[in-house]
């Protein structure tokens, strides 16, 4: 094996172990879903998104529904599959050009000697909620009660895994004394709750609303608001973004600019429209499980999670680093240059 291929292999293996976000796409899984959107000609770009029907990743499909990819002459392939850390590892392997996922990937990758960067910030808070089964009310009152508990996460190495480990550590519980179980989101997570395979789980809308409506769970902690995020994580925690390998960004600046143009315009459109108007643009199967009314209500309540400008919140990256440094071996003891984990250049040039 050549040194270059060896480095990629090591990076992928390490990423599987210690990096992640809720990104959930794979080019190899049997239940893979790919959608070619935007123009049929133009700049070809493949992007893996960690759950296209999740509200935290809404801008990726909304940009297509608004015609902004086509407007930029982009030929976009969106991949979507609940497989945890596949998005980052597939990007490292060169199978996709970018990832729609959490910004913390870029920090962990730098700790592993890889260079990736966010080119547009879409969420200023994680939008994550920790839910526990209703029959455990009074028994689990905070993460301090997690010792020995089964905790649902998107998958091992996901950002929900990151945040779960951090919250346990912060509350005096060694993550090794918990049982973190990959239950993805939507029906699989709900099934895990129903069958009592997990005691608590971290997830996002619309799964949150469905579990609450079914009276299956209660909210243990909520990071859908700036105040909640600051309370539990100590400050702003930039989450969803489009991140790409720095080598791709450097070699395809015109294409990256077109992508960022589309996403900045989408973020501005979100700010100028109601939750009902946004939901009306989304595919019906995105809210079929919870129902349109509940989907709209949840979106209206958490609309503040979306970044109105696309610019990385300046106080956010240090919070991400602090959280990862608490437990993540890829970041612990490393000097992280956050200026290399994101760029605002394309956002500032967006038309």
On average, the pLDDT of the chain sits at: 89
Buried b (16+ CB within 10 A) or exposed e, 24-36: bbbbeeeeeeeee
Measured over the CA atoms of residue 169, residue 175, residue 177 and residue 183, the dihedral's sign is positive
Is the confidence at residue 29, as pLDDT, over 60? no
pLDDT in tens, 233-253: 999 999 999 999 999 999 999
Q: Tell me, what's the pLDDT at 27?
A: 28
Torsion of CA 192, 196, 200, 206, to 10 degrees: 40
Q: Which band of pLDDT confidence, cut at 50, 70 and 90, is reported for residue 42?
A: confident
61, 283 in Cβ contact below 8 A? yes
Going by pLDDT thresholds of 50, 70 and 90, the confidence category of residue 11 is very low
More confident residue, 53 or 157: 53
**Residues 299-319: what's their mean pLDDT?**
96
Q: What is the pLDDT of residue 41?
A: 72
Mean pLDDT of 61-67: 98
**Domains contained in the chain, CATH given:** 3-125+237-348 (3.40.190.10), 128-233 (3.40.190.10)
Q: Residue 162 half-sphere exposure, CB side, CA atoms within 13 Å?
A: 35
pLDDT in tens, 130-164: 999 999 999 999 999 999 999 999 988 889 999 99
Please give the pLDDT value at position 50.
Answer: 87
What pLDDT sits at residue 20? 36
Please tell me whether residue 226 adopts helix, strand or coil conformation: helix
Quote the pLDDT of residue 81.
67
pTM above 0.85, yes or no: yes
pLDDT on residue 157:
83
pLDDT at 276: 98
In this prediction, residue 65 carries a pLDDT of 98
Least confident stretch, 27-41, 113-127, 180-194, 272-286: 27-41
β partners of residue 118? 243, 342
Residue of 269, 331, 303 lying closest to 108 (CA atoms):
331
pLDDT digit string, tens, across residues 172-206: 999 999 999 999 889 999 999 999 999 999 999 99
């Amino acid at each position: 094996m050549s040194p270059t291929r060896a480095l990629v292999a090591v990076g992928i293996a390490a990423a599987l172990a210690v990096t992640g976000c809720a990104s959930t796409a794979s080019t190899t899984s049997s239940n893979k879903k790919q959608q070619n959107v935007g123009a049929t000609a133009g700049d070809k770009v493949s992007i893996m998104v960690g759950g296209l029907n999740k509200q935290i990743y809404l801008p990726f499909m909304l940009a297509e529904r608004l015609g902004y990819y086509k407007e930029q002459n982009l030929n976009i392939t969106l991949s979507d599959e609940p497989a945890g850390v596949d998005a980052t590892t597939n990007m490292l392997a060169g199978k996709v050009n970018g990832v729609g996922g959490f910004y913390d990937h870029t920090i962990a990758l730098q700790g592993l000697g890889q260079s990736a960067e966010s080119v547009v910030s879409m969420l200023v808070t994680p939008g994550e909620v920790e839910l526990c089964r209703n029959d455990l009310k009074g028994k689990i009152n905070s993460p301090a009660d997690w010792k020995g508990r089964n905790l649902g996460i998107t998958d091992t190495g996901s950002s929900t895994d990151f945040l779960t480990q951090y919250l346990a550590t912060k509350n005096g519980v060694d993550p090794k004394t918990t049982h973190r179980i990959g239950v993805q989101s939507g029906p699989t997570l709900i099934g895990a709750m129903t069958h009592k395979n997990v005691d608590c789980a971290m997830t996002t809308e619309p799964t949150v609303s469905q579990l609450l409506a079914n009276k299956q769970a209660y909210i243990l902690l909520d990071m859908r608001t700036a105040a909640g995020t600051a309370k539990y994580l100590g400050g702003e925690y930039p989450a969803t973004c489009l991140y790409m390998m720095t080598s791709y960004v450097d070699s395809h600046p015109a294409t990256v600019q077109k992508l960022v143009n589309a996403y900045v315009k989408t973020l501005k459109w979100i700010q100028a429209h109601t939750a009902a108007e946004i939901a009306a643009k989304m595919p019906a199967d995105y809210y079929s499980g919870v129902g349109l009314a509940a989907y709209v209500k949840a979106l209206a309540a958490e609309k503040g999670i979306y970044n109105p400008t696309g610019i990385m919140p300046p106080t956010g990256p240090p919070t991400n680093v602090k959280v990862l440094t608490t437990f993540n071996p890829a970041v612990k003891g490393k000097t992280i240059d956050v200026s290399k984990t994101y760029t605002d250049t394309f956002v500032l040039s967006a038309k």
